[in-house]
């Protein structure tokens, strides 16, 4: 199967949103996706884009993507955060995830940042094994903390 990894364009947005929804189902949070096509278009493809994405394209269309953006570490300076690495269920186990991840690492090298980072679910041992093969470190002593806007509104005068 011929797979091409390339930067995402505006035309890919509907398929990108489908992949995002598929990942939310896999991560057992099918109703968590609030983002819309319009927002993805505006946020990722206008001036000062909030993210970039690599897509894996076959003759059947987009079958996977790696979506990332810059962050800032007060220890390491600019870093790159891999927000999503997604391969369509029907195409898993065919090396597309590896291709996408390695293209992402090439991008990290090209940008010359000191670190790249992302998160993984503790029960997703396949993913943990995959990342460790590349020498990535799994940090088990940090917790993510989140607060949504409704909670902030409720707790402030």
Which residues in this chain contact a second copy in the complex, by CB under 8 A? 20, 23-24, 29, 32-35, 39-40, 43-44, 48, 50-51, 67, 69-78, 81, 83-84, 102, 105-106, 108-109, 112-123, 128, 131, 134-149, 151-156
In eight-state DSSP terms, residue 89 is: G
Assess contact for 93 and 44: CB atoms under 8 A: no
Neighbours of 19 (CB within 10 A): 22
Least distance from a second copy to the Cβ atom of residue 60, Å: 22
Rounded least distance, CB 15 to a second copy, Å: 13
Would residue 134 show up in a list of annotated catalytic residues for this protein? no
Nearer to a second copy, 90 or 141 (CB): 141
Task: Find the shortest distance in angstroms from Cβ 59 to a second copy.
Answer: 25
Q: Closer to a second copy by CB, 28 or 59: give it.
A: 28
Q: 50 CB contacts (<8 Å, ≥6 apart)?
A: 43, 44, 69
Give the list of residues 6+ apart from residue 19 with CB closer than 8 angstroms, or none.
62, 64, 65, 84, 86, 88
Q: Any idea which residues carry the catalytic annotation?
A: 131
């Amino acid at each position: 199967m011929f797979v091409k990894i390339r930067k995402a364009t505006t035309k890919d947005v509907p398929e990108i949103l489908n992949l995002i929804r598929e990942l939310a189902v896999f991560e057992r949070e099918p109703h968590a996706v609030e983002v819309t096509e319009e927002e993805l278009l505006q946020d990722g493809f206008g001036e000062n884009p909030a993210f970039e994405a690599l897509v894996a394209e076959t003759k059947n269309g987009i079958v996977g993507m790696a979506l990332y953006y810059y962050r800032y570490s007060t220890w390491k300076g600019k870093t790159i955060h891999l927000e999503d690495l997604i391969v369509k269920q029907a195409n898993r186990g065919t090396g597309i995830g590896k291709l996408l991840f390695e293209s992402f690492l090439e991008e990290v090298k090209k940008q010359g940042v000191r670190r790249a980072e992302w998160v993984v679910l503790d029960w997703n041992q396949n993913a943990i094994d995959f990342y460790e093969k590349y020498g990535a470190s799994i940090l088990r002593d940090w917790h993510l903390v989140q607060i949504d806007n409704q909670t902030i509104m409720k707790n402030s005068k």
